[in-house]
């Protein structure tokens, strides 16, 4: 993931690649894809990754559920940045 990427576009890009791999005969479980997504996130998501990995069973979580959790974190972070910017004025 690049620092300029948002979570939604990043997960869409990953799923496109996963679909291409599956069409070519690769077998990838959602849990493996989710683990790879968590490993490839930027440092901005370190805290949320530390919470998601041990507390949730990746075998039971969907990629959509993971994406929703990451998007919620991203939204809160952006909201906090805007608030801090406003307070500094």
DSSP line for 25-80: T----HHHHHHHHHHHS-GGGHHHHHHHHHHS-TTT--HHHHHHHHHHHHHHHHHH
pTM: 0.81
Report pLDDT digits (tens) over 18-69: 999 999 999 888 889 999 999 999 998 998 888 888 876 777 888 999 999 9
Domain ranges of the chain: 7-88
Question: In this structure, are residues 15 and 63 in contact, taking their beta carbons and an 8 Å threshold?
Answer: yes
């Amino acid at each position: 993931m690049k620092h300029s990427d948002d979570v939604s576009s990043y997960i869409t890009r990953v799923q496109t690649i996963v679909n291409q791999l599956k069409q070519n005969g690769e077998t990838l479980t959602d849990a493996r894809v989710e683990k790879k997504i968590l490993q490839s996130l930027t440092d901005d998501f370190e805290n949320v990754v530390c919470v998601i990995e041990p507390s949730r069973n990746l075998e039971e979580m969907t990629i959509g559920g993971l994406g929703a959790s990451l998007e919620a974190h991203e939204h809160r972070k952006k909201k906090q940045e805007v608030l801090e910017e406003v307070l500094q004025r």
